[in-house]
Amino acid sequence: MKVLIPPARGQGEPLRWFFLILIVIGLLCISSVSALSVTGSKFMATMPPGSETTHTITLNIEGATEPLDLQADVMGFTNGPDGAYLGVSAEEDTSPYSARTYVTLDRNQVHLLPGTSEKITATISVPKNAGSGGRYAMIYIHSGVQGAKSVGFISAVAVPVMITIGGSDLVKTGTLTGISVGDIATGQPFVVTTGFQNTGNHHYYGVTDTVVISDATGVIATESIGPTAWAVIPGSTVNFKVPIRTPLPVGTYTVQSTVTKEDGTVLDSKSENFEVAIPFTPPPTSAKITLTPQSEGVLVSPDGRYSVTFPAGSVLSNVEVTLRPLQLTMVPTGTETIELGSSTFVVEGLSGLLARPATVRVKYSEDDLSAANGDANSLKLARFDAGGNAWTILSTSRDGETLVIQSDRMGTWAVAAAPGVGGTGIDTNMMILGGIIAVIIILISVFMLKRKKNTE
């Protein structure tokens, strides 16, 4: 994939930059390489020491009109922290479980013509003194960068090679390398991350991490992730991220993380204590309704904290509308920074303006209040205007702990701390336009006054 921003004309002071950047046009040109098709895209076998076999990888490009050059390399093999299968370069491949040197390819370069297929034959030789357990390598097949000026993306396929040494002792052990509790904020996902390393000599699939949260009274929550579809390779360390969906009052808790194999065998388990300083409420799940022109519709998050009331006549035809919580990391940034709380969500399914304004209600959280330094009066509802790439802080009334606004457009919503902002309901673009008009009127008035004085 190639992303191009055409050139600019100069450099200067920030204001000038602003106007210059406004006219920057980016070009993202992706050459359509067409589909890279690979069969024999995995090798997994038990091989006795001193044995040899071959594995055929067949390549073609579907729907292509241009030829494609591919490069194939043998690499080491490990897991990334997220479990992703990664190739390891020869220089960095120091694993005792590497099969990189066991694998040779009959060729490293392939010229694929449209409508034809080509084969790469891998010869896999297990030495007589191979030892025990599993041995791992990756055959990395990738295209070159496509095009000249319009450089395309690169499509690649990694072929895992997973060899079990026949007749050897397979050790399937693992250890937890750490447990960490992420930031805890109301309405936001709270994640327990468990580091786990395969300390054995053989891979295993179907690993599950179960997290149990308890306090002095007993178990509060049990959550798990898995079983994994991917294998944990010996020597690799992966991070399991388990989201917690249970409310937690202020207090001290113990989190226990247990990693098990597919058959339920415990590989390792560890505990840590953590504190919850502000009551934790998990993010709501999505809610969906079908709006009709004839009747009122109320879209409410399952936990009741967010709601949108659409009056009859707000839409002109039946529309399916969804309310979905949004993680803070996914909230768009605007041209100006505003202080957001933790209550963020998006209303999807509506484009354009509503025929009649809807009422948006949000019960603010302790975290929202913290963002406003405890001043509930400075909490406002803000809506992200994608067209203007800006947050608009709206005129917000407060009903107890609920913020209320009326709006004729939906989109991304957030509770914002905006001390001193009255929330006029006029968006930023309108304010800028109004300011420009005011300046023009003042300039014309001054000009007219001067002209009048001169004529006198």
Partner 1 sequence: MKDLVVLTVLALLCGGLVLPVSAATSTDTTYIQSNPVQGLVLDVTGNITTWDLSNIGDNIDNTDISMRIRSNTPWQINVYDALNEGKPAASAGHMTEYSMSLYGGYNTTDVGRMLYYPLELQAQSYDIPVVLSGAQQLFASGNPTPSGGAELGGLLYNLTVNQKLRFADARLPDDDAYRIVVTFVATNV
Name which of residues 85 to 114 contact partner 1 (CB under 8 A).
85-86
**What are the distances in angstroms from CA 345 to CA 57, 283, 324, 352, 373?**
47, 10, 6, 18, 22
Burial track 235-274 (b if 16+ CB lie within 10 A, e otherwise): bbbbbbbbebeeebeeeebebbbbbbbeeeeebbebeeeb
Q: Which of 90, 154, 277, 437 binds partner 1 (CB under 8 A)?
A: 154
Spell out, one character per residue from 159 to 198, where the chain touches partner 1: x when CB under 8 A holds, - when not: xx--------------------------------------
User: Per CB under 8 A, which region of 79-87, 119-127, 264-272, 403-411 contacts partner 1?
Assistant: 79-87
Spell out, one character per residue from 348 to 367, where the chain touches partner 1: x when CB under 8 A holds, - when not: --------------------
Q: Return the structure tokens found at 232.
A: 């944990």
Q: Is 338 in the site for partner 1 (CB under 8 A)?
A: no
Q: Is 432 in the site for partner 1 (CB under 8 A)?
A: no
Best CA proximity match to 401, nearest among 359, 369, 358: 369
Q: Is 221 in the site for partner 1 (CB under 8 A)?
A: no
Name residue, tokens 């041209």. Answer: 335
How many CB atoms within 10 Å of residue 181? 19
From the CB of 89, what's the least distance to partner 1, in Å?
12
Report the residue number, 153 or 274, with the smaller CB distance to partner 1.
Answer: 153
On the 0-12 / 13-18 / 19+ scale of CB atoms within 10 A, 417 is: buried
From the CB of 58, what's the least distance to partner 1, in Å?
8
Report the residue number, 86 or 358, with the smaller CB distance to partner 1.
Answer: 86
Q: Which of 73, 114, 132, 157 binds partner 1 (CB under 8 A)?
A: 157
Q: Is 5 in the site for partner 1 (CB under 8 A)?
A: yes
Q: Tell me, what DSSP letter sits at residue 226?
A: -
How do strand 306-310 and strand 358-363 relate by DSSP bridges?
A: antiparallel
Q: Return the structure tokens found at 359.
A: 């009422």
Residues 317-336 that bind partner 1 (CB under 8 A): 324, 327, 329-330, 332-335
Q: Which of 36, 340, 415, 418 binds partner 1 (CB under 8 A)?
A: 36
Three-state SS string over 399-426 comes to: ECCEEEEEECCCCEEEEEECCCCCCCCC
Task: Count the site residues for partner 1 by CB under 8 A.
Answer: 71
Q: Return the structure tokens found at 239.
A: 């991070």
How do strand 266-276 and strand 390-393 relate by DSSP bridges?
A: unpaired
Spell out, one character per residue from 382 to 421, where the chain touches partner 1: x when CB under 8 A holds, - when not: ----x--x--------------------------------
Q: Is 21 in the site for partner 1 (CB under 8 A)?
A: yes
Q: Which of 40, 131, 243, 357 binds partner 1 (CB under 8 A)?
A: 40
